[in-house]
Amino acid sequence: MAMVGVLINTATMAGQSYNSSKMGSWIDTKKEADICASGDSCNVIFKNLISQPKLWIGKTYFDPKAPYNIAYDGSYSPKGMVGYIGTNWYSFGFPGYSEAPHTPWNKKLTWTEKFDRLIVSTDSDDGGVTKESAPVGDVRDIAPFRHTVKIAHALQYNLAGSKESLLELKNALVKGAKGDYLTELKPAHFFYKHNEGYDYPGFAPTLGNFYNTILPLLEAHIVLQRNNLYVEQEFNLVHGWLEKRVWGLEQGVMDGTISKRWNYKPHQEAIDHEMIKKRTAYLLWGIADQNNEYFTAGVNGFKDAYTIIRNDGSLKTEHRKGSGNNFGLNTGNYVIQHIVNMAIILHHHGWDIPKSFPKIEQMVKFTSELVKSPRKNKYYKKTINSQNSFNNSLEFIYDPKIDNTLAYVVIYDKTFGTKYSKNFSQDDDTHSLAIMGIVDAREIVIGDNKLHSINYKFPDMYPWTPSKSSKKDWSWFIGERFQ
């Protein structure tokens, strides 16, 4: 086999079925899965990547069919240097969001040997079966939201009037690039056991962790370029560093996941909570690099995801009445969140979302109605078991986690003038969208839309100079209340 992780650059072809001879660097056999699970030979060492890979966005199927690549269908171009955070956004003062529950915590954005070199998956949780020769990582040492919250604070401080926050963020990225941090990507070191046999998840769980860091890094890189914060040498250093990390995201059909259920051959399932973030990342890199291939792949990923939305705004893949353990209301909100995030990005590039993609609003409406009466929703499961408890929980409403909140509805409302979030809870966690660079969506103003803002009433809250910013150890990477 070709060494997994040494990516190859093949001819661009639109609408191509999977061809193992042309995609030989991806995991697509049981033998390769065994090798990757039991050692380090499949690790991706980013600095060794030498060219942009062939991109893969799998077409969504609900019936078993051969994997089909839609990454190159058509051609789309970004219209400027704007990602998720719009050019007409600003922010009033905000209290901040605690990163302590999500990653090893300190005050500054610092790069360390322990947390910022090897990117791994988990310690074989969720029923994973560890191979005897596989090294086992400790999930407490993985830090899957490394730097996510810090980047979001710096970006929203900028929106609240602090250019100093962007300078410190730029300096942090330069240090990361100089040190070649986020150095190596390791595929899963375990198999999952189920009734039909074993699954090997390839790079999927590792990338699931890495997207939490790379997405806000890409948004930050876009904002820094738009504000002309880099000198040429700094830009080249940071851009080249991020470019290779983005190249390393491409690991083929379902990120190298294969299963006995599919005779250990590549198989494309319908887009779900495990595959959605790749599409957002490709959109953002298409913008940051002004790269039509990545932007096109991201657009096609968005359009493909749109096909899973029912007329009532629910998702065919996540909102189901039947039994199963890999779908539900909780993971459904996760997917809706990312589809809406992509829609906001495309809105910034001139796409008429309400007219061309009306079911995006139906998704937001579905969420609003779900929040109002969750137990009346026809997809709510009164009885759950240990296998599907996470997927079917309502924690995104009652106890939101960092990557699964309701802030996207607030941003949608402020962008398009709707009020679906009007009666949402006003707790801080509900309104955080750190993975896209936002700490507190309530205090974001889009145009002149101040929906949910508390601090717009106070004239000293924009431009905002936090009262303790004169302290020597003040950090723009954490909220004011944590200083």
CATH code assigned at 377 = 1.50.10.100
Which residue, chain included where needed, has tokens 């929980």? 393
The tens digit of pLDDT for each residue in 369-398 reads: 999 999 999 999 888 776 677 778 899 999
> What is the pLDDT, as a whole number, of residue 262?
87
Q: Which residues contact 48 (CB under 8 A, 6 or more apart)?
A: 6
> What is the pLDDT, as a whole number, of residue 471?
81
User: In whole angstroms, what is the distance from residue 67 CA to residue 190 CA?
Assistant: 24
Residue 390 vs residues 142, 319, 326, 385: alpha-carbon distances, Å: 20, 14, 9, 9
Whether 57 is in a domain gets the answer: yes
Whether 391 is in a domain gets the answer: yes
At 232, is the pLDDT very low, low, confident or very high (cuts 50, 70, 90)? very high
> What is the pLDDT, as a whole number, of residue 308?
96
At 4, is the pLDDT very low, low, confident or very high (cuts 50, 70, 90)? very low
Cβ atoms 103, 154 nearer than 8 A: no
Q: What is the pTM of this model?
A: 0.93
Q: Which structural domain range is residue 392 located in?
A: 36-67+82-453
Least-confidence region, from 93-107, 201-215, 226-240, 428-442: 93-107
What integer is the mean pLDDT of 289-314?
98
Cβ atoms 176, 483 nearer than 8 A: no
Q: Is the peptide bond before 463 cis (omega within 30 degrees of 0)?
A: yes
Nearest to 177 by CA among 244, 120, 119, 126: 244
Whether residue 457 has pLDDT greater than 60: yes
The rounded mean pLDDT for the chain is 89
What integer is the mean pLDDT of 175-185?
97
User: In whole angstroms, what is the distance from residue 406 CA to residue 254 CA?
Assistant: 27
Q: Which tokens sit at 125?
A: 């949780």
Nearest to 327 by CA among 384, 285, 289: 384
Whether 151 is in a domain gets the answer: yes
Sign (positive or negative) of CA dihedral 76, 82, 84, 90: negative
Whether 77 is in a domain gets the answer: no
Sign (positive or negative) of CA dihedral 11, 14, 19, 24: positive
> What is the pLDDT, as a whole number, of residue 156?
98
> What is the pLDDT, as a whole number, of residue 131?
55
Whether residue 12 has pLDDT greater than 50: no
End-to-end CA distance of the chain: 52
Whether 479 is in a domain gets the answer: no
> What is the pLDDT, as a whole number, of residue 182?
97
Whether 19 is in a domain gets the answer: no
> What is the pLDDT, as a whole number, of residue 123?
54
Query: Torsion angle, CA of 371/376/378/384, rounded to 10 degrees?
Result: 90
Whether 261 is in a domain gets the answer: yes
User: Residue 156: phi, psi to the nearest 5?
Assistant: -80, -30
The tens digit of pLDDT for each residue in 79-103 reads: 999 999 999 999 999 999 999 888 8
Whether 482 is in a domain gets the answer: no
Q: How many domains does the chain have?
A: 1
Cβ atoms 306, 248 nearer than 8 A: no
User: In whole angstroms, what is the distance from residue 185 CA to residue 27 CA?
Assistant: 14
